[in-house]
Structure 1
Amino acid sequence: MELPQLHTFNFTGVLSESKRIILSRYTHFLTFSLLFLPLSFSLIITPTLNHHLCDQPFTIHHSDHQKHLTSYILYTLIIHILTLCAICTITYTTHHAFFNHPVNFLDTLKSLTFSFLPLAFTAIIAYVIIFLISITFFMLIATVLTLLHNVGFVIDYNSVHFMWFSAIMGAVLIAIVTYFHVEWSLAFVVVVVESKWGFVALMRSSYLVKGMRSVSLLVMLYFGVFGAFIVGMCSVNMRFVGFTMLGSFILMMFLLRITAANTVLYNYCKALHGELAIEVAEGFDYEYLSLNSDDEKVPHVVSVVAA
């Protein structure tokens, strides 16, 4: 027998389902999304501050420079810690809300005790891999240019042709980095939900996202483009404190939405691979077959089980 499919495995389905889940527990999600606020505020003020510092003469003493560097490292570390806490708690809540499981504030906080460190290690491994790929790419380009120079080619680094070459190589690097971001878009969800971390979580994400890469890419581009627009608008108008705070709040909500969307996408990917159907057949997560919508007592089924 084929179960009715109420939600389609596509981009709009992910957005609508994640929105429904957030609205169903809005106060809960809003509380934990405040952990994104330092990151949102930093993303908005950093471009303007960097531009301002570049325009100032370099008169900082060595001791002052060390203090500023230490403060900056500490500030960045705190932001990353709070961001990982937000991802962990929001992912945990979204996953349980997807199955209509009751989740309270204390349970969500407890999820940090067993998910935070694996999440941090997974993030570090992913960042290191991306960094090594980028460095290797630049070294490859430098090697090619050196070889061309050695065989007698004259390279004019100020020419239009070299500018086009640089732009194309930049686009290639962006495409490569984007590919890995899509492949690993579910890694953090895997860490929180399946208690896997590191390379295992990255490989698990790569497996699950097969068949849904276009959806993952659209989710990333949708929130990324609008988020970048908000950052650009607020950075230009940073002299208005209210505008900056409003932009930080909007960006915080974007981060909440993309975290919830990736969690919903994770469950859709599991359904697409038949894993949720297996769990139901084995007797786990039986509520999956009897989820209720907000007001209507109707089945909320997201997978298709063919018999």
Structure 2
Amino acid sequence: MAMTPAHTLNLCGVLSESKRIVNAHSRHFLALSLLFLLPLSCSIVIFPTACLPQTRPDVVFSAGDYTLKSPRTLIFPIVYTFVVYLLSICALATITHSTYHGFYGRPVKFLPAIKSIIFSFFPLVSTAIAAKFFIFLISLSFLMFVVVIIKLAQNLGFVIDYNSSYFFWFCAFLGVALSLIMVYFQVNWGLASVVAVTESKWGFEPLWRSSYLVNGMRSVSLSLILVFGVQIGFWVWMASNSLLDFGTIDEWRSWDFVSQTIITSGFLSILTFLLLHYTAANTVLYMYCKALHGELAIEIAEEFAREYVSLPFDDAKVPHVVTVVSA
């Protein structure tokens, strides 16, 4: 009799399993979300919104006597970038570490999750730098290719009208082509951060490892990026618009201010929820990709071997088994 898989290796299986892990350790993931993801959500929304041009250039956000002026120095963007990257690294390290251990049925504790930041910080930073460097080379090569094409056309005697609709559509086509290339690499490198945390690899190695693991599951990886990317982008836009409405409120004691605060807080909570589940789902996708390549069975066997000597057997530590059935 064939064993029925607990979850199939598709998008629904990834989302279902990540939801199971998060719900099983809801207080733990709530603490991590409040510590890292909620400040990250606020940073993503507040600073870009504050930099948008307003009808009153000297005032971006005002409530009563409190006024936030547009940052005009370079220090604010630098600090903002540093804070966002630091919160992102901490969130990736802790949530990935927790989801990884929760998948195996191991104890998920707060202090070990926080300690994982120390061991994952350099791998995550070096991997991000390697990815940015590779993307820069690709973009530069693409730009040089376009310049060569234009110069070649001019040398052949063609007159290029930069204001014509043909040149506009040519640039639009190149933009779409470059975007598709970026999406392709994003799909292939989607598991790089998980590899950096769970396998302590760094630099370009997590990128190559992610490309190998995602082979055969690229459609799931793309679907995961689209599902969460669209939702996160939508709620960032909603939260930004809600934040801009504060500028029209003159009295902070008014009901408009209270209701707007509640609405904005709700948008930020939804954004935090989506970031949490996207990180957890990406970790589960990593586990499913390992199952597809036959690596998960070996690790589960080793897990059982370690737990076999611990009596009585604890059902809470039984790892989640993923069965791959060939068509």
TM-score tier, shorter chain, comes to 0.7 to 0.9
TM-score normalised by structure 2 residue count: 0.81
Instruction: Give the conservation status (yes or no) of the 8 Å contact 2:213–2:293.
Output: yes
**What are the ranges of 5 or more consecutive residues in structure 2 without an aligned counterpart?**
59-69, 247-259
Tell me, in whole angstroms, the C-alpha distance in 2 between the residues paired with 1:130 and 1:173.
11
Instruction: Give the conservation status (yes or no) of the 8 Å contact 2:105–2:318.
Output: no
1:150-181, CA deviations, whole angstroms, 9 ceiling, x for partnerless residues? 32212222222222111111111111111111
Instruction: Give the conservation status (yes or no) of the 8 Å contact 2:25–2:108.
Output: no
**1:8 and 2:28 aligned:** no
| SS state at 2:53 partner | helix
Q: Label 1:261 to 1:299 Cα distance change in 2 as closer, same or farther (>3 A).
A: closer
Aligned to 1:254: 274
TM-score normalised by structure 1 residue count: 0.86
Q: Label 1:132 to 1:299 Cα distance change in 2 as closer, same or farther (>3 A).
A: closer
**What are the ranges of 5 or more consecutive residues in structure 1 without an aligned counterpart?**
58-64
Instruction: Give the conservation status (yes or no) of the 8 Å contact 1:271–1:277.
Output: yes
Structure 2 counterpart of 1:207, from 203, 208, 212: 212
1:77-119, CA deviations, whole angstroms, 9 ceiling, x for partnerless residues? 1221111000000000000001110021111111112111111
Aligned to 1:69: 74
Q: Which amino acid aligns with 1:284?
A: E
Tell me, in whole angstroms, the C-alpha distance in 2 between the residues paired with 1:45 and 1:152.
51
Q: Label 1:10 to 1:66 Cα distance change in 2 as closer, same or farther (>3 A).
A: closer
| 1:2 to partner: Cα distance | 5.2
| 1:285 to partner: Cα distance | 4.8
Structure 2 counterpart of 1:284, from 290, 303, 308: 303
Q: Which amino acid aligns with 1:9?
A: L
Q: Which has the higher mean CA deviation after the structures are superposed, 129-138 or 220-229?
A: 129-138
Structure 1 counterpart of 2:178, from 167, 173, 181: 173
**1:154 and 2:159 aligned:** yes
Q: Label 1:67 to 1:164 Cα distance change in 2 as closer, same or farther (>3 A).
A: closer
| SS state at 1:196 partner | coil
Tell me, in whole angstroms, the C-alpha distance in 2 between the residues paired with 1:10 and 1:150.
52
Q: Label 1:107 to 1:298 Cα distance change in 2 as closer, same or farther (>3 A).
A: closer
Tell me, in whole angstroms, the C-alpha distance in 1 between the residues paired with 2:206 and 2:319.
31
| 1:286 to partner: Cα distance | 5.3
**1:90 and 2:95 aligned:** yes
Structure 1 counterpart of 2:290, from 244, 266, 270: 270
Instruction: Give the conservation status (yes or no) of the 8 Å contact 1:99–1:291.
Output: no
Q: Label 1:28 to 1:71 Cα distance change in 2 as closer, same or farther (>3 A).
A: same
Aligned to 1:61: none
Q: Which has the higher mean CA deviation after the structures are superposed, 139-148 or 98-107?
A: 139-148
Quick check: which has more Rg, 1 or 2? Answer: 2
Cα RMSD for the two superposed structures: 2.9
Q: Label 1:81 to 1:176 Cα distance change in 2 as closer, same or farther (>3 A).
A: same
**1:40 and 2:45 aligned:** no
| 1:196 to partner: Cα distance | 1.1
Tell me, in whole angstroms, the C-alpha distance in 2 between the residues paired with 1:193 and 1:177.
25
Instruction: Give the conservation status (yes or no) of the 8 Å contact 1:95–1:263.
Output: yes
Instruction: Give the conservation status (yes or no) of the 8 Å contact 1:230–1:251.
Output: yes
Tell me, in whole angstroms, the C-alpha distance in 1 between the residues paired with 2:54 and 2:177.
31
Instruction: Give the conservation status (yes or no) of the 8 Å contact 2:104–2:318.
Output: no
| 1:248 to partner: Cα distance | 2.2
| 1:299 to partner: Cα distance | 8.5
**1:229 and 2:248 aligned:** no
Identity of aligned pairs, percent? Answer: 51
Structure 1 counterpart of 2:198, from 187, 193, 200: 193
Tell me, in whole angstroms, the C-alpha distance in 1 between the residues paired with 2:227 and 2:288.
18
| 1:207 to partner: Cα distance | 0.5
Tell me, in whole angstroms, the C-alpha distance in 2 between the residues paired with 1:159 and 1:14.
47
Tell me, in whole angstroms, the C-alpha distance in 2 between the residues paired with 1:54 and 1:132.
39
Q: Which has the higher mean CA deviation after the structures are superposed, 73-82 or 141-150?
A: 141-150
Tell me, in whole angstroms, the C-alpha distance in 1 between the residues paired with 2:11 and 2:277.
13
| 1:226 to partner: Cα distance | 1.0
Tell me, in whole angstroms, the C-alpha distance in 2 between the residues paired with 1:72 and 1:50.
10
Instruction: Give the conservation status (yes or no) of the 8 Å contact 1:28–1:105.
Output: yes
| 1:279 to partner: Cα distance | 2.7
Aligned to 1:30: 30
1:222-248, CA deviations, whole angstroms, 9 ceiling, x for partnerless residues? 000111111222223322452333222
Structure 2 counterpart of 1:137, from 138, 142, 145: 142
Q: Label 1:17 to 1:152 Cα distance change in 2 as closer, same or farther (>3 A).
A: same
Instruction: Give the conservation status (yes or no) of the 8 Å contact 1:100–1:287.
Output: no
